[in-house]
Chain A
Amino acid sequence: MSDLTKNYGDVQAVRDASFAVEPGEVFGFLGPNGAGKSTTINMLCTLAKPTSGTASVGGYDVVTQRDDVRRHIGLVFQEPTLDVYLTGEQNLRMHAELYGVDADLIPARMRQMLDMVDLWDRRKQAVRTYSGGMRRRLEIARGLMHSPRVLFLDEPTIGLDPQTRSSIWSYIRALREAEGTTIFLTTHYMEEAEVCDRIAIMDRGEIVVLDTPTALKKSVGRRASLDDVFMHYTGTEIRDGFSTSGVNVNREIMRAMTKGGRA
């Protein structure tokens, strides 16, 4: 993706973000709350149209080849999107059918996904009886039902106990081994960012740095942890919802630019 920009009115949520993710890579996308991570993911998932700039996922343009992008990505959002009145099995089946997966392959694929997330035994029960961790695992299984090339995970382990978190990470690794799926994830847990092949840190709508965890730590100091790296690049100030100071300064210029981009 290159020069990706998204404006909401006068507020720039994402400004000229550019980066490339390699196939099969586990790519960590970090940043303080409100940095523009979710907006970027939404653009990559074709849920939001970029104001300017281009991006492609799996070789397809997110604006002009929206349906092709959607065929090849799996999504696990921060917020739950399961139908809790249906069973685990019904949720997965519905998803596979919605994507047009060959009906003959659905049972086998479902078995494999449910085994991976240890929910095979609970498949006949309504999702409302599942715990938070089980629901999250089911969402991951569902996102993988159609063998996506890229799996987007927006804070997949938030609010989960360490056991569930570590098992989710073992699925992620297993997945890459088995299917070469590219993983694009956001997280606030630095020990998880450590496991990524590369990480990008976004702040105030811009990519501030992108490298392997090791290289990033080196760049900050000899004994630096990823926490230090994170604070180094994004500051220590707490912010929820991005600050618009500084963005407003460039408002007129950006407006002119994005007008050109939209044409």
Chain B
Amino acid sequence: MTVATPETVAVRVPVRSWRSEVRAMKIVWRRDLIRFVGDPTRILAWLIQPLLFLFVLGTGLQSLSSRSTHGVKLTTFVFPGVLGMVLVYSAMFSAASFVWDRELGFLRELTVAPVGRSSILLGKTLGGMTIAASQGVIVLALAGLVQVPYRPVLLLGVFGFQVLIAFTITAFGVMVATTIKQAQTFTNVMQMLVIPMLFLSGALYPISGLPAWLGVLSKLNPLTYTVDPMRRIVFSHLHISAAARHTLAPGVTWWGWHVPVLLEAAMVLVIGITSLGVAVFKFTRTE
């Protein structure tokens, strides 16, 4: 029992309830944002990265393929792909910070508190999601520079997908982070996973023209179903020839069947929730 002398401010800790969980989630989420906002270098990199992806990569590729795009600028084509890349990198970075928290000891401060570990992971995922999705908004704001019209329906649609994708990729990263406990290993494994996934997702070139074996891999690649719906939304608002649409935004087909955008969204969501579920399972079972 606390014997309070006049100058002592004694406090008490309430019994654990759902409120503790909401609080824990909010704290973990907010910590990621505080750290982000308090790091000017990271913010600068965060602002420059989309510009580099879009203009250096997009313009560079343009010189290779001006004929096969049917008059559509390659920067326009890669725009949804760059959105995907930015989201992936940002979300991965947030997931990596979870591994660093473990390595630097701070994770222990969280795991000994009277709160559930699932709340910690959910807060972490939502924090990564928020930062990644805000970075996506920067890319979205550049739409006009690559001949993508600022139409509310387009912007809202793409933004909705961004949030969903940011959630899923962070959850996936957090899942890997609960398995791989060394920060350096995590970075290496992530690079190994992410780079081929990005290449095969249709972010930088259309996957319709790929040889059969790569085509199959790209259809198994979860990132394909994040880039494709964003591209379809963007292209539905462009005035381009049918041939261009057919080449550049053909959609994903399974045995000749066009996968609808909503099914793609549902798949992304399911992958995200499953990843988070696995992460919670691993994190609550070990340590």
Contacts and interface: CB of A to CB of B under 8 A. Distances in A.
Question: Are A and B bound to each other?
Answer: yes
Interface of A: 23, 45-47, 67-68, 70-72, 75, 77, 79-86, 90, 94-102, 105-106, 108-109, 111-112, 126, 142, 145-147, 149, 177-181
B38 A180 contact: no
Contacts of A178: 3, 5, 7-8
A180 B3 contact: yes
A112 B7 contact: yes
Contact of A71 (B3, B15, B24): B15
25 contacts: A23-B1, A67-B114, A68-B15, A70-B112, A71-B14, A71-B114, A81-B108, A83-B109, A96-B11, A97-B27, A98-B24, A98-B115, A99-B113, A99-B114, A100-B23, A106-B11, A109-B9, A111-B9, A112-B9, A146-B13, A147-B10, A147-B13, A178-B3, A178-B7, A178-B8
A95 to B, nearest CB: 7
Interface string B95-115: 000000000111111111111
B35 A149 contact: no
B12 interface: yes
A72 B39 CA distance: 35
A180 B1 contact: yes
A171 B261 CA distance: 62
B113 A147 contact: no
B62 interface: no
Interface in B237-287: 287
Closest 5 CB pairs of A and B: A70-B114, A71-B13, A67-B16, A81-B105, A108-B9
A101 B11 contact: yes
Is the contact region of chain B dominated by helix, strand, or loop, or is it mixed?
loop
A179 B105 contact: no
Interface residues of B, number: 38
A106 B12 CA distance: 11
B8 A100 contact: no
Contacts of A96: 11
A232 to B, nearest CB: 35
A179 B2 contact: yes
Contacts of B5: 177-178
Nearest to B3: A180
B105 to A, nearest CB: 4
A136 B163 CA distance: 40
A179 B13 contact: no
Q: Which among A84, A96, A99, A109 has the highest number of chain B CB atoms within 10 Å?
A: A99
B34 interface: yes
A98 B27 contact: yes
B4 interface: yes
Contacts of A45: 112
Contacts of B35: 83, 85-86
A147 B112 contact: no
A77 B109 CA distance: 10
A178 B10 CA distance: 10
Given A178-B5, A179-B8, 12 more contacts: A71-B15, A83-B106, A83-B109, A86-B31, A98-B110, A101-B12, A109-B11, A112-B9, A149-B1, A177-B5, A179-B2, A179-B10
A62 to B, nearest CB: 12
Central interface residue in B8, B23, B27, B114, by most chain A CB within 10 Å: B114
Contacts of B19: 100
Contacts of A102: 11-12
Contacts of A72: 13
Nearest to A107: B9
A45 B111 CA distance: 11
